[in-house]
Amino acid sequence: MRPKRMDTPAPALPFAPAAPWLAPMAGFSDLAFRMLCRENGCAAAVTEMVSAKGLFFGSPGTSRLLDTCPEDAPLVAQIFGAEPDYAARAVFWLAGRGFRHFDFNAGCPVPKVAKSGAGAALLDDPDRLVAVARAMVLAASEARPGEKPLVGVKLRLGVKPPHMVCLDVGPRLAEAGVSWLTLHPRFASQGYSGRSDWSATAALVLAVDIPVMASGDLWTAQDAAACLEHTGAAGVMFARGALADPAIFARLRGLLEGRPLPPPTGPDMAALIRRHAALVRATDHSPRGLLKMRTAVPRYLKGLAGSRALRARMCGCRSWEDVELAAREAERLTAAEPHDPSDRKD
């Protein structure tokens, strides 16, 4: 598989409970991992977050974040920034390279992003947020005349409690032409601590007439099904849950269709490790590829009894042969360990 620009018609974005998406995760949701998730039931995916300005100032690594291929569809390109002009230029630039759908990140709580006025900081400047979204919607329609490019916005509740800015700005974003919203129902000041407020997602669903994708604390297919029932969201977007088990997408579909899948076994995870390794080797020939497997394999093995020593060894693996040895050893790990909620960080 060779990364390339997309130059084929893009499938429509699915908004449905049984069409789960893969969330953008910096350092994780690269092309190889997106393809692994797609093979396991992922209905749509979002690229890692890309700086709108970085596209024009030669930011190192920006082009790598946008690696894709025709099979990597439907795909949404996510950008961040704080200036309408650069956001619009970014959409034109991305559209010229084959991207059809775009997302704007107004929910990232990372200090280096927020300090620039971008990410979740825009929730304290809703007028600017709406202006950026409107500029992106206009640019998308001009860049793709005759098509139906969609623009979404990722939100958090607000910057700090108690004011839920999302409930005020959500309808304004819909009026600006945004096609969907994704809500991670925590305040930016919380980071990833505490619990997601699914009731806020339900309130946003009622406040807007566009699809709302639910995010936050979706660790299992059962979590996602409960979230969908509680919120009435159009669909869900898996993040850390997919990192632990990329088959979580198929598990949700099976659960909603009344055919729940059995928990993963050692042989299941061994096959997953081998497939992920093959995808990484096909898409990233740099040393980064092996480093990514060092972090991925321990996550896959965590739900298997007796895997502690193997997980520790994988953190120091030095070759692809070490990855294969881990897969062989994983084949013998069949008993599932009880899940430890204290290990959860979404």
Q: What is the structure's pLDDT at 145?
A: 85
What is the maximum alpha-carbon separation in the chain? 57
Query: Which residue carries 């979204």 as its tokens?
Result: 133
Distance CA 238, CA 8 (A): 26
String of b and e for 313-338 (b: at least 16 CB within 10 Å)?
Answer: ebeebeeeebbeebbebbeebeeeee
Distance CA 237, CA 304 (A): 25
Q: If DSSP codes are grouped into helix, strand and coil, which group holds residue 78? A: strand
* Active centre residues (catalytic): 108
**Mean pLDDT score of the chain, rounded to an integer?**
91
More confident residue, 249 or 4: 249
How many other C-beta atoms can be found within 10 angstroms of the C-beta atom of residue 24? 26
pLDDT tens for each residue of 226-244 = 999 999 999 999 999 999 9
Predicted confidence band of residue 305 (pLDDT cuts 50, 70, 90): confident
Query: In one letter, which amino acid is 266?
Result: G
| Average pLDDT of the residues in 191-210 | 96
pLDDT winner (highest mean) among 57-66, 143-152, 337-346? 143-152
Q: What is the structure's pLDDT at 334?
A: 65
Quick one: CA dihedral 230, 232, 233, 234, positive or negative? positive
**Cβ pair 172, 138 in contact under 8 A:** no
* Residue 185 pLDDT exceeds 60: yes
| Average pLDDT of the residues in 262-286 | 93
Closest-CA residue to 279 (of 291, 293, 265): 293
Class at the top of the CATH hierarchy for domain 21-256: alpha beta
* Residue 332 pLDDT exceeds 60: yes
CA 47 to chain CA mean position, Å: 7
Q: How many residues does the chain have?
A: 346
Q: What is the structure's pLDDT at 73?
A: 96
Distance CA 88, CA 65 (A): 19
Query: In one letter, which amino acid is 197?
Result: D
Distance CA 241, CA 244 (A): 5
Q: If DSSP codes are grouped into helix, strand and coil, which group holds residue 256? A: helix
Q: Nearest 5°: CA angle at 151, between 2 and 137?
A: 120
| Average pLDDT of the residues in 94-118 | 94
